Structure 1
Amino acid sequence: MISGIVTAVLLACFVGGWIWAWSPKRKHEFDEAAQLPLNEDQESSR
């Protein structure tokens, strides 16, 4: 019984995190984070 409840809670946390990560509000922030390694390479080559 307890393991079923724990599984349901963890599934809800996973789905909540997935929705948060794929939220259109977060796209700009994630796009900026994706460009960080490229920007650091350009700055270090100067």
Structure 2
Amino acid sequence: MVAGISTVLLLILFLAGVAWAYSRKRKPDFDAAARLPLEDDRENNP
């Protein structure tokens, strides 16, 4: 019984995390993070 309840709770938490990661409000943050390796380092390191 406890194993079934914990499985359902973990599934709900996983789906909530997926929904949070793919929400439209997070897209600008993820796009900015994806561009970080491509940005020029010279502006930060003189």
Same fold (TM over 0.5): yes
Identity fraction in percent? 49
Matches within 5 A, 1:1-46: 1-39=1-39, 42-43=40-41
**Structure 2 residues without counterparts, runs of 5 or longer:** none
How far off is 1:17 after superposition?
0.2
Structure 1: stretches of 5+ with no match in the other structure: none
Q: Name whichever structure is richer in helix by fraction.
A: 1
Name the CA distance, whole Å, in 2 between partners of 1:5 and 1:25: 31
Tell me the distance in 1 between the aligned counterparts of 2:41 and 2:28: 22
- TM-score with structure 2 length normalisation? 0.83
Q: Scaled by the length of structure 1, what TM-score is found?
A: 0.83
Task: Give the count of matched residue pairs.
Answer: 43
